[in-house]
Structures are given as structure tokens and as C-alpha cells.
Amino acid sequence: MPSTGALASRVGNEMAGTAVLLFAFAESSRGEGAAVFGLLAVAAAVGGPLLGVWIDRGRSAAPLTLSLVAFTLGLVAIGASMHAGQDHLTMVLAVATGLFGPAVAGGWSASLTSSDPQKARRLVVFDASSYSVAGLVGPALAGVAYAVGGRAAPLALTVALLAIGSMCAPWAHPGPTPSDAVAAVDARTSRPHPLSDLRSGMLAIVRQPRLRWATTSSCIAFFGFGIFAVMVPSIGAARFGSPAAGSLILSVLAGAALVSNAVLARRDGLGRPAAVLTASTAAIATGIAMLLINNPAATLVAAVIVGAGDGPQLASLLHIRHAEAPQRLRTQIFTTGASLKITASGLGALAAVPLMHHGMATAIVTAAVAHLAGAGVAVMARDNTPATPFARLLGQAR
């Protein structure tokens, strides 16, 4: 049940941004769609760390369930507000809804655990793979829903999938694993204040060099990816004649990411994760730059190159986090890292609107340069320590 909920939530979450952009595109309100997309992401900067503390300290599935329900209902409210033309209310709702967004990533990751080592390994494999599956299926579903049901259909399907995830959440186990139960009981009366936990999680990211540089690299790169994501419907319209064709671009990208991860796992390519992070981020920059070529075939090739980098980029980043995150703060490290990436992507989405006023080429070049800068920072996450067994397991799973 939790695995089903995690997959449904992530597919719905992957559709959410595209659904909002398509909804706004059909209303000739591209700027509003980009603003909602960006605000949903930027609000995660606050929501991610707080949700991580809440879930780490939880004794039931209630924090995860309530967060997913709030995120789902928030998207319903955003759609209704956009339809009614209430622009200011829509922006407020986007911020409020975005606070709960990181629960889909970090919250479910904390829940997919087991006292059975073999089952726990299978859950790690599933958790790592669900992102790519969602990236492949989500945009395609959004495009099909738009073509069949019109502008509101992708958002309705997004909400339905998130609702399935919310219904499965009560069966999740976000608290400490059974092996940690004794320590949890001992610490119950002397548990630090939530603000102390929040501070510890932030400092863990800042003080550990590999974690710090990998996180910084991903944030810079995702600023560029936010610009790219907002451009996708416009690129689809310019190259293929329909904004829904942007979903095809994202599906090709996700398919290439799955293939590249399969190759990476077979060749055990995550022995040097910082090198993989550097090379994959540079590959994404190359693919985005290829979008300057005004040709449908070249656009699909560019999507393949971006996807070939995107898969190993995520795998290497997860590898470094698993190797470096303290066990007590693991959920917080993942939700905070996810929220920082989402926020950087949101800032990129907000920047895309003025950039596109100067032409699509300006936005494309900016997105590519951001990834090149991210690749340069990734070099600092030096591969000077041996991988942990858990990290090696993750690399093989990816």
C-alpha cells in the first residue's frame, strides 16, 4: 500500500507543474501559469525543513497524511481560483500549497522502510526508480489528458493521483525503524526542541563538504532547469505546433534518464559520484543549448541528451546524500535538500517570464549557463572517501 501511494503521489506531483502550465496556456495566461509554478516551488524552501522535522519526530503516519491531503486540496483550490480569474488569491494559494510539496519526495522516502533487510533493499530500489517512472509517465499523461479532455483534464488527473497517494498514506510508517525503537524510547523524555532539530539538519548540510557542494551544485542546476521547464510548452508549440507536444519532450527526456541509469548501474558507475554529478550536469547544459536549433528532430535529440544527464545527476546526488547524511537527521536532509532544489527551480521559473520577453534564445542560453555553473561547483564535491555499503547498494539499484 505505501509503495502504491508513493508512486501515485510522485506521478501526480510530476504532472502538477505541466498541468498548471497547460491550464494557464489555454487561458492565454502564460505569465500566471509560470508564476504559480514558481511560487509552488519557492514555498518549499520553508515547507521542506519543517516537514522533515515533523516527520522525523512523528509517531504515526499522520504528518505525512495531512501534508499530502493539504497539497492535494491546495491544487484543487488553485485550479478553481485560476478559473475564476482571481489572480491575487491564486498566488496566495500557490504559496500555501507549496509548503506541503516536499512531503511527496522526502516524506514518502522516510516512510518506505522495513525491519526486514531484504525488503528494505527492495524499497530503496523502488524509491530510487519511482522518480524516473513518474518523470516518464507524468508528462505523457498530462499531454494525453489535455488532448482528450481539454485544459482542465490534466489538473483533474493530477488531483486524482495525489488523492490516491493521500488515501494510502495512513498505512505508511514514517517514524523510526524498529531497530531504532529503543533509542527512540530513551530519547523521548530528553528529545531536543524542534528548532534545535531544524538547526542540526541545516548545519549537517553546511558543514559536510561533499553534501554542501553537491547540494549547491544541484540548486544552481535546478535554477536552470526551472527556466527550461517553463519553456517546454512554448518549445512544443514552436517546434511541433502544439503546447501539448511539450509533454512529448519531457517523456523522451524521462525515457533517456531511465536508460542512462540502467547503464550506470550495470557498469557500477557510481564509484565516483562527484565525477558523475559533474559530467551529467555538463551533459544537461549541452542538451539545453541544442534547443537553439530550430528543428523538431534536433529538439528530440536535445531531449535525449538532457535525459541522459538527468538520470545520473539524480542518482549521484542521492548517492552522496545517503553516504553523508547522519541517520538521526536523514529525513530532514532529504526533505531540506529536496526543498532547496524545488525552490531553485521555482526561482528559475519566475525568472523565465522576463527572460522569454527577450526571446526564447535568451532563456535557453541562461538555462544552459546555469547548468555549466552547477557542473563547475560539483567538482568541489571531491570523491576522496570510499563509498558506504548503503551508497554502493543504491548505485547498484539505480
Whole-number pLDDT of residue 388? 42
Whole-number pLDDT of residue 24? 77
- pLDDT tens column, 72-125: 999 999 888 888 878 788 889 988 988 888 788 777 776 766 666 566 545 655
What is the average pLDDT across 260-277?
A: 76
Answer with the residue of higher pLDDT: 169 or 305: 305
What is the average pLDDT across 330-349?
A: 78
Under the banding of pLDDT at 50, 70 and 90, the label for residue 185 is: very low
Under the banding of pLDDT at 50, 70 and 90, the label for residue 386 is: very low
Lowest mean pLDDT among 58-67, 214-223, 271-280: 58-67
Whole-number pLDDT of residue 77? 92
Q: Which of 35-44, 251-260, 268-277 has the highest mean pLDDT?
A: 251-260
CA max distance for the chain: 64
Under the banding of pLDDT at 50, 70 and 90, the label for residue 180 is: very low
Lowest mean pLDDT among 134-138, 199-203, 251-255: 199-203
Whole-number pLDDT of residue 253? 87
Under the banding of pLDDT at 50, 70 and 90, the label for residue 188 is: very low
Whole-number pLDDT of residue 369? 96
Residue 42 pLDDT greater than 70, yes or no = yes
Give the 3-state DSSP-derived string for 216-263, with helices as H, strands as E and coil as C. HHHHHHHHHHHHHHHHHHHHHHHHHCCCCHHHHHHHHHHHHHHHHHHH
What is the average pLDDT across 270-291?
A: 89
Q: Which of 136-140, 331-335, 363-367 has the highest mean pLDDT?
A: 363-367
Residue 55 pLDDT greater than 90, yes or no = no
Whole-number pLDDT of residue 364? 93
Answer with the residue of higher pLDDT: 142 or 76: 76
Evaluate whether 224 touches 370 at the Cβ level (below 8 Å).
yes
- pLDDT tens column, 354-367: 888 888 899 999 99
Under the banding of pLDDT at 50, 70 and 90, the label for residue 50 is: confident
What is the average pLDDT across 126-142?
A: 76
C-alpha cell at 69: 491531503
In DSSP notation, 291-334 reads: TTS--HHHHHHHHHHHHHHHHHHHHHHHHHHHHHS-GGGHHHHH
Torsion of CA 37, 40, 43, 48, to 10 degrees: -120
Alpha helices in 57-116 (DSSP H): 62-83, 87-98, 106-111
Closest CA to 174 of 367, 6, 324, 382: 6
Whole-number pLDDT of residue 306? 93
Whole-number pLDDT of residue 176? 47
Under the banding of pLDDT at 50, 70 and 90, the label for residue 189 is: very low
Answer with the residue of higher pLDDT: 217 or 105: 217
CA atoms within 13 A on the CB side of 81: 20
